[in-house]
Homo-oligomer: A and B are copies of this chain.
Amino acid sequence: MSLESIRYTRGKLEILDQLLLPLQTRYVKVQGVEDGWRVINKMQVRGAPAIAIVGCLSLAIELEKDNCTDKKIMRQEIEGKLNYLVSARPTAVNIKLAAEELINLANVLSAAENVTPNDFKERFISSIESMLAKDIEDNKAIGNYGCEAILSNLEGDGQVRILTHCNTGSLATAGYGTALGVIRSLHASKRLEHVYCTETRPYNQGARLTAYELVHEKIPATLIVDSMVSALMNLRKISAVVVGADRVAANGDTANKIGTYQIAIVAKHHGVPFYVAAPLTSIDMSLTSGEKIKIEERPDREMTHIGEHRIAAPGINCWNPSFDVTPASLITGIITEKGVFSPEKLNECIPT
């Protein structure tokens, strides 16, 4: 069965601590927005959709305990806390969009005269809770559309070999996954021969998390280091690359985990189709191109150490951007819950 990275019931939220995986499976309690900010910032929860859901659920937990009866104060607190949560990881767009929607909802509920403070609280919390179910449903749709698109490129009913980068599975979403959801769908259709996952330095999400999910689901898989992608494509026929997205601009340029751009270049060099799997919430139509995307830089220590063990020479400088931007020209298609779009046709799925 699929892994549960987020456990939620009204008033109670726990997340699977991804920093301890794959060696330990331990859940962390999230008792309010400060805990929410901390688990996002420390990367105990990661993946753009999961970040958005955990952030918003942490607010639901806090509201549940709150006995405020003044709608204006409630509205003001909600706005402040959502902005605070967004600041935990600046590149992920999903939590920013979710926060904007929720702030709009708070404005509407606050202004509506027939809504009592209790109604406000109830409807606001329910709205957050529905994000969890919707994310899983959207991922399943992404999985099916992606599976169809990849198989439609094949001659006959052969088996496919897929490469993926970073972690976009149950651990990065509310469940099922985006790029890993496509892989799950292919596996369920019995058309998947093999998956190759990159270890995804410096934080090893591929080696730790994707490999963990693939072993857990008994999907035939092989781990490679990030620099082996070209050698792999040269020696074995890869049917497609499928990756996730932290943010997609209106023109299709895609910010995703560092190394994605490199894989897109080598996929093009080897004639391998390159897909981005992302819910519509990852598409930011207000950004005309990827150049406008702010790239977060992470601490050197992620590169120089593994746990407490130093692996790099003392005194060396590091450059540690967390993401890179893959230009639309290298992307075959963007797989969403509404279908697969070529980058130039993205505006057909989201009205600007």
Query: Which residues of A are interface residues toward B (Cβ below 8 A)?
Result: 21-23, 196, 198-202, 204, 207-209, 211-212, 214-215, 221-232, 234-235, 258-259, 261-263, 265-266, 269, 295, 303-304, 306-307, 309-321, 324
Contact = CB atoms under 8 A, between A and B. Distances in A.
A206 to B, nearest CB: 9
A170 to B, nearest CB: 13
Nearest to A262: B230
B321 A228 contact: yes
Nearest to A198: B227
A200 B227 CA distance: 8
Contacts of A209: 313
Q: How many of these chains are in the complex?
A: 2
Which of A226, A235, A303, A316 gathers the greatest number of chain B CB atoms within 10 Å?
A: A316
Given A202-B225, A221-B317, A266-B266, A309 B309 contact: yes
Contact of A303 (B225, B232, B313, B320): B225
Given A22-B313, A317-B223, A306 B303 contact: no
A241 to B, nearest CB: 13
12 contacts: A23-B310, A23-B314, A201-B226, A211-B312, A223-B303, A223-B318, A227-B227, A227-B259, A228-B259, A231-B295, A232-B319, A307-B309
A38 to B, nearest CB: 24
Given A227-B258, A231-B261, A204 B311 contact: yes
A332 to B, nearest CB: 17
A22 B258 CA distance: 26
B227 A316 contact: no
A279 to B, nearest CB: 24
A202 B206 CA distance: 14
B222 A319 contact: yes
B224 A225 contact: no
Contact of A306 (B211, B212, B223, B306): B306
A303 B269 CA distance: 26
A203 to B, nearest CB: 10
A265 B269 contact: yes
Contacts of A265: 230, 265-266, 269
Q: Which of A200, A208, A227 has the most CB of B within 10 A?
A: A227
4 pairs of A and B residues whose beta carbons are closest in the complex = A227-B259, A22-B313, A212-B313, A211-B313
A232 B259 CA distance: 11
A218 B211 CA distance: 39
Contacts of A226: 201, 225-227
B199 A321 contact: no
Contacts of A309: 306-307, 309
Contacts of A227: 198, 200-201, 226-227, 258-259, 262-263
Given A261-B231, A307-B309, A311-B207, A316 B225 contact: no
A21 B202 CA distance: 20
